[in-house]
Every structure is written in structure tokens, then in C-alpha cells.
Amino acid sequence: MEKILIVDDEEDFCYFVKKNLEAISNYEIITATRGRKGIQIARKEKPDLILLDIMMPGIDGLEVLKRLKGNEKTQNIPIIMLTAKDEDESKIKALGSFCDDYIVKPVENMVLKGKIHKILSITK
């Protein structure tokens, strides 16, 4: 069973993404509502994929992305940015830090599942 980590400070958002993805897939979903906590869990749990918000209190998602992609233990985990930020500048920064995809909220569950599935099938 593939393990997916959601890092987003909006608890309700994490809750629904988790419930909705679990309903249509076999993924095991774990969540973190702070960037720092997300990094810790990623190192410990080694998820198969991370869904990462950008605007969070404390360490923001772009910094989390840099740290995860800059660390040997976590650099190969595919990361999809899942954020409300729809600016080119933000997309360029994220892609420049080697995120694997960039999705702007709100997103339909089936679309999200499709993107996750595609990335997982490539990285396997």
C-alpha cells in the first residue's frame, strides 16, 4: 500500500483530501499541519509521495521542498505542490526546486488522484 503525506496548515482540507483519496484508492494517508513537522514525518515515514502546501506559518512549503529535495534521505520522494498560490513566480520557484507537479486549489478529487497515480507509476 502506497503511503502519501499531506502537509497543509488547513486541517479541514487535510481531512477531506485524506477521506476522499482513501475512498477511491488504496493509499495510506498521513497528514502534518506544519512544515517542520512535515519534514520530520517525511524523514521518518519515507512516504511514496508528498502533497505540499506553500503558504504555511513557520517554514513555508517552498522551504520544505528545498530541504526535502536537498536531503539524501528524502530527495527521491516525489512532491506535488498543492496550493492556493496561482502565480507564475511561485510555480517557477517550485519547479526550480524540483517539485514533480504543481496543482492549484481547488482541485477535484479524481484529478488529484489521476496526477498522483501518474507520478507514482513513473517513479516506481
Partner 1 sequence: MSLHRLGYSVPGTAASGYEAIKKAEKIRPDLVLMDIILEGEMDGTEAASAIRSRFDIPIVYLTAYADKKILERAKVTEPFGYILKPFEDRELCSILEIALYKHRMERKLKKTQQELIQSEKLAALGRFSSGIAHEIKNPLGIILGGSEFLEMKLSKVDPDVKIAINKIKESTFRADKIVKDLLKFSRPSALKTERIDPNGLIRETLSLFKYRTPLIEIKIKTHFAQEKMYLEIDKNQMQQVFFNLLMNAIEAMPKGGTIMIKTYKMASSESSLAKKLCVIEVADTGEGISPKDLHKIFEPFFTTKREIKGTGLGLSMSRMLVNNHNGDLVIESKPGRGTTAKIILPFC
Asked if 111 interacts with partner 1 (CB under 8 A), we say no
Q: What is the DSSP letter of 42?
A: H
Asked if 23 interacts with partner 1 (CB under 8 A), we say yes
Number of residues that bind partner 1 (CB under 8 A): 20
Q: For residues 19 and 124, what is the distance between their CA atoms, to the nearest angstrom?
A: 24
For residue 48, give the nearest of 71, 67, 24, 74 by alpha carbon: 74
Q: Whose Cβ is closer to partner 1: residue 63's or residue 74's? A: 63
Region at 2 (left for phi over 0; alpha for psi -120 to 50; beta for the rest): beta
Q: Whose Cβ is closer to partner 1: residue 15's or residue 73's? A: 15
- The contact set with partner 1 (CB under 8 A) reads 10, 12-13, 15-17, 19-20, 23, 55, 84-87, 104-109
